[in-house]
Structure 1
Amino acid sequence: MKISLITVVYNARDTISKCIESVIGQNYPDIEYIIIDGGSTDGTLQVIDQYRPHIHIFISEPDKGIYDAMNKGIALASGEIVGTLNADDFFVNEDVLSSVAAAFLAHETEIVYGNLHYVNPAGKVIRKWQSAECGKNSFNWGFMPPHPTFYCRRYLFEKLGFYRLEYGSAGDYELMVRFMHKYHIKSHYLNTVMVKMQVGGVSNKNIINRFKAWSHDFKAMKTNGVGYPLFALTLKPLRKIFQFF
């Protein structure tokens, strides 16, 4: 079972090496590694060049943002399973993709996701995103899996659609709520930490971006049939409070 792994990057010279090394260090034998660069100008491309023998597909060109770049990678992917690992993320150990593949086979599922830790630049864990099994009404209660741990069968994109750019920073949330809530695609929760992410997401940089993110979340909820979206929108950030303890 081939896993196509997509790394989207733009001007991430300081973090891209750790990301790539965590991928090429995986012990799973059937990985197609795809890097989509948005036209970096800070030395990122020179760093990537050092790893080119381990990269199966590489593109560097302007794009319309992170989800446009992900869509480019998905369109080029040939693996049965597709996942993403952004330039600021890295796998916690060498067994992550082996565990993902085993979960797909053992549970005959269409989606696999797990847990994530946020870390500061020194590597200290500052927030633990412990996910949970996704039930029929989980998204109605503010549920969201950590997108960097989200893997699905490639045919789902062809059948149900790719990332939708009009949802801005909520593009990942909209896709997951569409697949898992609207269409009830079978999923399996892999209860283990899969990825560490460095802090500093785009949607949290300032209050204006935060309001835009809420607006996009609300739109994604309404579009995909989340019950009482204002209630779910309130619960979604509240669920994060316990991740800091």
Structure 2
Amino acid sequence: MILSIIIPSYNSAHLLLNTLESIRKQKCKRTDVEVIVVDGVSTDHTVDIVNKYGDIISDFICEKDEGIYDAMNKGIDVARGKFSYFIGAGDTLTDNILAEILPILTKYDGIVYGNVIRTKNNAIYDGEFSIIKLFRRNICHQAIFYHTDIIKALKYNTKYKVLADYHLNIILFSKFNIAKRYINFNIAYYDDLAQGFSQNNSDDAFISDYYRIICENYSLKYKLVLFCISIIRKIKKVIG
């Protein structure tokens, strides 16, 4: 098994259908991929959609959770693929991307990531990331494949309700023994018109802990860079 695709969902049956259909259309060996849907006991017709796509869904977890990252952690617990990948209900894989990405995943460990296409403006997000670039913004989780052993060991910190994936990526990029490989492929369409979760919610806990997270995981060189970035941001605010 090469890849576990984990889909958290809650009362988003119509969006989940689009995501599952994009997976079903992929031209790859079914035995190389498993699909895990983790649902927070939806009251819409999510179960009907899951039953409709039973031919591609390996696991359906339907139980109360403590938020999206708790649901994603539940998916991690049962993942059997070499790599794990997370996609939201409403997001869709690009055409035939699995046929291109699976052979690459067999050759590498660590983290493999590419781009996403934002449906709102058809813009591509966001190229290769250095540590400094990561300090400024996150890799979209629909663009990244994690070696399952790594993510099983770390998991998402559910203290952070909106930006736990950012927290995880900051930690992983600090570990130089974990390989990070960028591939210039457009992995998925990120439905930022429907996905209001991260865009319309603030993660006060993460914002409060951000500098501490950097200081605990990075050397003095990167701490100084982060300090300079914060000063530049303050100057820009002052001068408009």
Structure 2 Cα separation of the partners of residues 211 and 175 of structure 1: 16
Contact 1:174 1:221 (C-alpha < 8 Å) held by counterparts: no
Give the match for residue 236 of structure 2. Answer: none
Match of 1:149 in 2: 143
**AA aligned opposite 2:81:** G
* Residues 172, 129 of structure 1: alpha-carbon distance in 2 compared, 3 angstrom cutoff: same
Larger Rg: 2
2:88 is equivalent to residue 130 of structure 1: no
Deviation at 1:183, TM superposition (A): 4.7
Aligned positions of 1:159-238 closer than 5 A: 159=153, 161-199=154-192, 200-205=195-200, 209=202, 214-215=207-208, 217-218=210-211, 220-225=213-218, 227-228=223-224, 229=226
**Helix, strand or coil: the match of 1:53?**
coil
- Gap change, CA 1:77 and 1:105, over 3 Å in 2: closer
After superposition, give the CA deviation of every residue in 1:38-76 in whole Å (9 maximum; x if it has no partner). 111122222222112221110111101111111111110
User: Alpha-carbon deviation of 1:78?
Assistant: 0.9
Q: Gaps (5+ residues) in structure 2?
A: 234-240
Shift of 1:233: 6.7
RMSD, aligned α-carbons: 2.6
Task: Tell me if the contact between 2:111 and 2:180 (Cα under 8 Å) persists in the aligned partners.
Answer: yes
SS of the residue 1:56 aligns to: strand
Q: Normalising by the residue count of structure 2, what TM-score does the alignment of the two structures yield?
A: 0.82
Q: Hey, what does 1:11 align to over in structure 2?
A: 11
Q: Does 1:76 align with 2:72?
A: no
Task: Render the CA deviation track for 1:91-138: whole Å, top value 9, x for unaligned.
Answer: 1112x12322222345x3421111111114xxxx34431221x44554
Q: How many residues are matched?
A: 225
| TM-score in terms of structure 1 length | 0.81
**3-state SS, counterpart of residue 84 of structure 2:** strand
Q: Secondary structure at the match of 2:4?
A: strand
Structure 1 unaligned blocks of 5 or more? 237-245
Write the distance in 2 (CA, Å) between the matches of 1:10 and 1:235.
40
